[in-house]
Structure 1
């Protein structure tokens, strides 16, 4: 009994570390859907890297219009400097990257995280994973759905394009001990997660992949 209480306290501490890395969550009851994919009406797995196809310039201009002036200016600068940039394709890729990064973090897959994040973000994720492993805690989390993805900011810093997105999603979270017993959380309660993730890409590079280079509260 004492061991369970101690593990629950450790799980709670690691949960707070998780919030500092991934963002803020507001708890509410939600029906759990037994799937790790967000709802999009097909059975395709998310992309393993955040890339985008080349888009039509006229269509890109239409999708960029209507944002607040600072965001629209940033998106237009990126679109002008990178003729392959297309906002809708970027947003779809970002949704897939959000899911892939979360699931890699939950299962402790450092190799996949390193391929999708810049060094600073990767080191933050890896530190929490190491703490979990040392405490004998595993995470049995499920991304129920992504409710909304919106552009929070956009800028072209020299040749580095940066776009920050606000994600609103529902996540069911459970922490287990070495024996697999639940020590914190419940799959019967979903948690609303509000995160701002910033993706970056060197527009001079032939590699179309965007990397996660910052996470913040949403």
Structure 2
């Protein structure tokens, strides 16, 4: 994922992300069966590797507040969409793609990302980000109150990140090094709305 990516491929990616995330936004609908099955297969080993029974029970209890609003809430489908949004947002941030970020993140996160992108532009720097893949994505917290539902997801992913100066010198990162990144992202939506579009409202790194 770098800034020389074919624009047509970027547009296609954004369209796919928007389609699946919109499906998740309406909680009465689910993703295609193959996507659900894959998410369930990916999710189960993660819990076995990284979470105790107490951890899983705690998460399920927190998600009960979401299920009270919508009994059809599908955790596997949600995580499928969250994974796609995670990669799309990272790509958009690296490519300085503000229009895509506006569709996927809330105002506070957009302001933070926007200032970082502006600073990079002012310094004449370019961020090249290659997303290798997500090794883990699991819900670590959830709540529903005051007309808003929030779900926090912990992502463990592998990326190659390089920042270059205007004269193509390395400022940060190593193009030959895969780095493990651990983030907890919080997604939120308005519960009174019939079309609940999940947006990224907070990020926290480890």
Q: Please say whether Structure 1 and Structure 2 have the same fold, judged by a TM-score greater than 0.5.
A: yes
For 2:122, the equivalent position in structure 1 comes to 134
Greater RCO, CA 8 A, separation 6+: 1
Matched, 1:150 2:138: yes
TM-score by length of 2: 0.74
Structure exhibiting the larger radius of gyration computed from Cα positions = 1
Distance (whole Å) between structure 1 residues aligned to residue 67 and residue 167 of structure 2: 51
Q: CA deviation at 1:202?
A: 1.1
Counterparts of residues 1-218 of structure 1 (less than 5 Å): 45=13, 47-48=17-18, 50-51=21-22, 52=24, 54-55=29-30, 68-218=56-206
Distance (whole Å) between structure 1 residues aligned to residue 144 and residue 58 of structure 2: 12
Distance (whole Å) between structure 2 residues aligned to residue 131 and residue 159 of structure 1: 35
Q: CA deviation at 1:150?
A: 1.1
Specify every segment of 5 or more residues in structure 1 that has no aligned partner in the other structure, as ranges: 1-35, 37-43
User: How many residue pairs align between the two structures?
Assistant: 170
Specify every segment of 5 or more residues in structure 2 that has no aligned partner in the other structure, as ranges: 6-11, 31-35, 37-42, 44-52
Bigger shift: residues 131-140 or 150-159: 150-159
SS in 2 for 1:162: strand
TM-score by length of 1: 0.70
RMSD of aligned residue pairs (Cα, Å):
2.6
> Which one has a larger percent helix, Structure 1 or Structure 2?
2
Distance (whole Å) between structure 2 residues aligned to residue 68 and residue 159 of structure 1: 26
Distance (whole Å) between structure 2 residues aligned to residue 169 and residue 131 of structure 1: 25
Distance (whole Å) between structure 1 residues aligned to residue 98 and residue 185 of structure 2: 19
Distance (whole Å) between structure 1 residues aligned to residue 129 and residue 86 of structure 2: 14
